[in-house]
Amino acid sequence: MTALVRPFRLAPGARVAVVAPSGPVAEERLEAGLDILRGWDLDPVVAPHVRDRHGELGYLAGADADRAADLQNAWCDPSVSAVLCARGGYGVQRIVDLLDWEAMRAAGPKVFVGFSDPTVLHQAFAARLGLVTLYGPAAAGADFIKNARAQEHLRATLFDPESVRSIRAVPTGGALVPGRARGVTLGGCLSLLTSDLGTPHAPAGARGGLLMIEDVGELAYRVDRMLTQLLRSGWLDGVAGIALGSWVGCGPYERLRPVFVDRLGGLGVPVVEEFGFGHGEGALTIPLGVAAELDADAGTLTLDEPALR
């Protein structure tokens, strides 16, 4: 794996577009998120269909074509410096093949932020655009709205990326398997990584990569099943190191830990647990597509260069 192209950092006054490629967005959370972005001296614009709800499939924020058009138009708008996902949920897999990737490539690099269901977009942006993206809080997400750590880490990554070149796990984090490893970061939500296997936008595997994974609402046997699928498919062959994020709603962590030991311990690579990104409280922003060193013993991910130029 090789490092990808880094977009430009944001400056005060930058216009950022908020899109909803997945599930419907709560109005009060959207407004609260927009207020935070304005407080950072950004100019947030809401895509036309962010407030939509699909007439028959209520888990989608409007029709597939409309959600895809919002994302593509925001990306191709030369006045927009960053595209932020309002939330996760489900729906990106339904629109990723509707996007005009040639047009989006021609629009040039810009910042993309999202987590959970937008894992599919992170993979597609890497495969189709060769672009570093930020696996970070949703602009209308409860954690972003309420948690200062989540807000500050994303703000620092966007405006002052040198200050967060070394990302440290939350205090409960540590080495599941000790050691250091170098590679290029990739990953996201485990269930989306497995469901994306074999598609045109997914990487062929994690060889040479530092895999960052987390999930929500998946019990231990389901996590086992997904990790086993990655192992059986050969997708984890040659992975350099692994960082485990949050596992909210996945049952007591003492039931998950043996799964990670059993499924990942035999890979012979460093593994950090409870790193602090994903669906958990105060989630850290993790750049994907950057060369870095993972130190499991210290609980740190140190980027070779700032995530943004």
Say how many CA atoms lie within 13 Å of 118 toward its Cβ.
29
279 is catalytic: yes
Phi, psi of 111, rounded to the nearest 5 degrees: -80, 135
Catalytic residue selected from 22, 49, 81, 116: 116
Q: Which residues pair with 301 in a beta bridge?
A: 167, 294
233 is catalytic: no
d(CA 182, CA 261): 21
DSSP 221-264: HHHHHHHHHHHHTTTTTT--EEEEEEEETS--HHHHHHHHHHHH
116 is catalytic: yes
d(CA 289, CA 122): 9
Distances (CA, A) of 275 to 3, 122, 149, 212, 234: 22, 19, 14, 9, 25
Catalytic residue selected from 122, 153, 201, 279: 279
Catalytic residue selected from 22, 153, 214, 246: 214
Q: Is 183:292 a contact under the CB 8 Å cutoff?
A: yes
* Number of residues assigned to the chain: 309
Q: How many C-beta atoms surround the C-beta of residue 205 within 10 A?
A: 18
Q: Is 151:42 a contact under the CB 8 Å cutoff?
A: no
Q: What are the residue numbers of the active site? A: 116, 214, 279
